[in-house]
Structure 1
Amino acid sequence: MIIIPEIQIKEGKVITGAADESSDIVHEISPRQAMQNFVTDGAQVLQIVDIDAARSKPENNVELIRELLNETDIPIQVAGGIRTLAQINDWFEAGAARVVLGTIAITDSPLVVEAASRHPGGIIVHLATRGGYVMIDGWRTQTAFMPQDLIRDLQMTGIAGVVHKGTDLMDSEYDEANALTEQMSHDVSIPVYSSGTVRTLDDIARLHYLPNINGVIVSHALMTGEIALKDALQISTQKDANPEPGSVTHNVNMGIHHGIRAYLAAYNSSQAARVWNLALRDMITEDNPYMEILIPQIDLELDAENLSRREIQACYESELEKADIVIVILEGVEAEAWTGFECGYARAQGKYIYGVISDEPNKGASQLRFESMCDELINFTPGDDVTKTHAEISHALTTRVMVQNQ
């Protein structure tokens, strides 16, 4: 479980925000010093929230946050009042590792889809709740939605995770909020994070042993010194016992804890093809850590000179049997390639096959034959920017796999 220290900024000062602005708590430490302290204590990622922007105030803390982004190499996710695609793009250009969307994720889902498509793995959605209902506009407006009603649809937009925060926790126990967060996490395969539910190290330990919660965002307890980041990190990295039988859902079994095993069937006879395939795998697994991808020609390290084709085939068959899905790269495939065998054996084993192919109109006979063996096709637009091509494939594949494994 990851610990994400949070710095909430209002009028240039570090605060703990409340649903009622008059109840905000101002801390003596400056945003810059808070960030430096967290970095020194071993933070892996930070979250910085512009409270003024979230509350639609005329003045905000954008310039200060930009300065902070330039002063550390630690990944920082930025939140608060981000409501347009231009703002999202600007934050990534400024160096943000991720952008957290709140109100706009509820009111403009097409924008979320577009943002997630442009920035694969970079968009997080923050769901604030009060009394079980989603709040927007800086926690001031209650919607008619419960988070359970939204989280599956949000997952389909291609976002990288969801943060759940109960806004009525300053004077109440956290069990209800944790239960809601854990319930949400059972419904999806993307990471779910808890926010605002930590006052003591015992709270960290309790969250650590909830099977589906991937991380926790901590602000007030760290600012007041009630807990030390080093202690929280130590607890969060302890080896945990296996969850009780029945406590892990199908989504978790296929997603977070064990990963989806994918077999990548692709042309690997040239160095260029191997480099392209490896880069694609890196993109997919970086964006989607719940996926494990095997490229048999590279990963199995078979002694092709001393093994017969039947022996090599047997090794491939064994890996295909272990796979949950098969990804077939149809570009450049040849009639004599292993792809035909891999597709045929995967079909015989009842594996779900995703074919990856460009949207170029001219296709060879081998491509058309293997294409017909796939359950779904993922089309991409070829171009000189390989990273962009891989991002396009990764985003489409993630969405399709999550839908298939619901």
Structure 2
Amino acid sequence: MLIPALDLIDGQIVRLKQGDFNEKTVFNLDPIAKVQEYAQDGAALIHIVDLDGAKDPKKRQLQLISQMVKNCSCPIQTGGGIRTYEDVQSLLDIGVKRVVVGSAAVKDVAFGHKLLNDFGPDAICLALDVRIIDSMAQVAIHGWLETSQNSLYDLLDDFMKSNLQHVLVTDISKDGMMQGANNSLYADLAQRYPKLDVIASGGISSLQDVKDLKALGASSAVLGRSLLSGAFTLKEALNLWPND
């Protein structure tokens, strides 16, 4: 599945380079109109990152996200600073299909298991942002400011015990850089976890990148800056990788 993505700051669509708020591009686009456009173009799921919520959960853009959900004909998954059980519940209550949880589940694995068990594995997407250090994929936390002691594969093996179904894996070095995805990482994940919906994120910049990811067996991929910058359209990408 190809998943168009929008990052939001103060109600505006933006893109960051490698998660740096100082490297921000603002797109003069209406968020509600944009999700409607993506739905009309064939999206089966849209990924929303609430960057205000990521910086301060009290500033979560619940009202805007609620309007996007209500006015979009396809499901929406969203994340950004999800730290508590109540954060998850509040988003599911406004109609979000799936909540994306990152650092909170990495720092407190028991919390991650509880979310998967209480809400069900289809309602939770684990977000694991990785740095490749000495050929090992290490998981970063706190908005990529720190590298945890957890390896990507150790965490995945643990969460599979609670029937993890969806995981968004971002190679930090690739995010927002428009230089191609980390294909070797996603090929390895597809081989190790053939039944897991591994969502590739970061660096997809061309239709060739889309072709390459599909060919190596990736189950899903997020398209962010590539769509917003006009590198290609969602319709063109879906011609190469139709939604199941």
TM-score, with structure 2 as normaliser = 0.89
- Aligned residue for 1:143, secondary structure, equals strand
The structure that has the greater radius of gyration is 1
Q: Which amino acid aligns with 1:151?
A: L
Question: Hey, what's the Cα distance between the residues in 1 that align with 2:221 and 2:177?
Answer: 19
Between the aligned partners of 1:56 and 1:179, the Cα distance in structure 2 is 34
What do residues 126-164 of structure 1 show as CA deviations (whole Å, max 9, x unaligned)?
Answer: 111123421112222221223123211122222221111
Equivalent residue, structure 1, for 2:162: 157
1:79 equivalent to 2:85? Answer no
1:150 counterpart letter in structure 2? L
Q: 174, 190, 200: which is aligned to 1:185? A: 190
C-alpha change, 1:117 and 1:136, in structure 2 (3 Å) is: same
**1: CA distance between counterparts of 2:209 and 2:180?**
9
Answer yes or no: is the 8 Å Cα contact 1:128–1:136 preserved in 2. yes
Sort the Cα spacing of 1:52 and 1:150 in 2 relative to 1 into closer, same or farther, 3 A: same
Separation (CA, whole Å) in 2 of partners of 1:149 and 1:174: 26
Q: Percent identity?
A: 25
CA contact (8 A) 2:178 2:203 kept: no
Structure 2, unaligned stretches of length 5 or more?
Answer: none
Equivalent residues in 2 for 1:3-402, closer than 5 Å: 3-18=2-17, 19-56=19-56, 59-120=59-120, 121-131=122-132, 132-169=137-174, 170-171=176-177, 173-174=179-180, 177-188=182-193, 189-211=195-217, 213-237=218-242
**Unpaired runs of 5+ in structure 1?**
239-288, 290-406
**Cα deviations across residues 317-345 of structure 1 (Å, max 9, x unaligned)?**
xxxxxxxxxxxxxxxxxxxxxxxxxxxxx
Q: How many residues are paired up?
A: 236
Instruction: State the SS of the aligned residue for 2:235.
Output: helix
Deviation at 1:115, TM superposition (A): 1.5
AA in 2 matched with 1:130: R
Residues 88 and 171 of structure 1: CA distance in aligned 2, closer, same or farther (over 3 Å)? closer
Work out the CA distance in 1 between the residues paired with 2:179 and 2:238: 23
Which amino acid is the alignment partner of residue 230 of structure 1? Answer: K
Contact residue 50 and residue 62 of structure 1 kept, 8 A:
no
Per-residue deviation at 1:172?
7.6
Q: CA contact under 8 A between 2:6 and 2:48: conserved in structure 1?
A: yes
Letter in 2 for 1:122: A
Instruction: Identify if the C-alpha distance between structure 1 residues 235 and 172 changes in structure 2 by more than 3 Å, giving closer, same or farther.
Output: closer
In the alignment, the residues of structure 2 paired with residue 76 and residue 146 of structure 1 have an alpha-carbon distance, to the nearest angstrom, of 29
User: In structure 2, what is the Cα distance between the partners aligned to 1:183 and 1:149?
Assistant: 14
Q: Which of 1 and 2 has higher RCO (CA within 8 Å, sep 6+)? A: 2
Coordinate RMSD, CA, aligned: 2.0
Once the two structures are TM-superposed, the CA of residue 33 in structure 1 deviates from its matched residue by 2.1
Q: What secondary structure sits across from 2:59 in the alignment?
A: coil
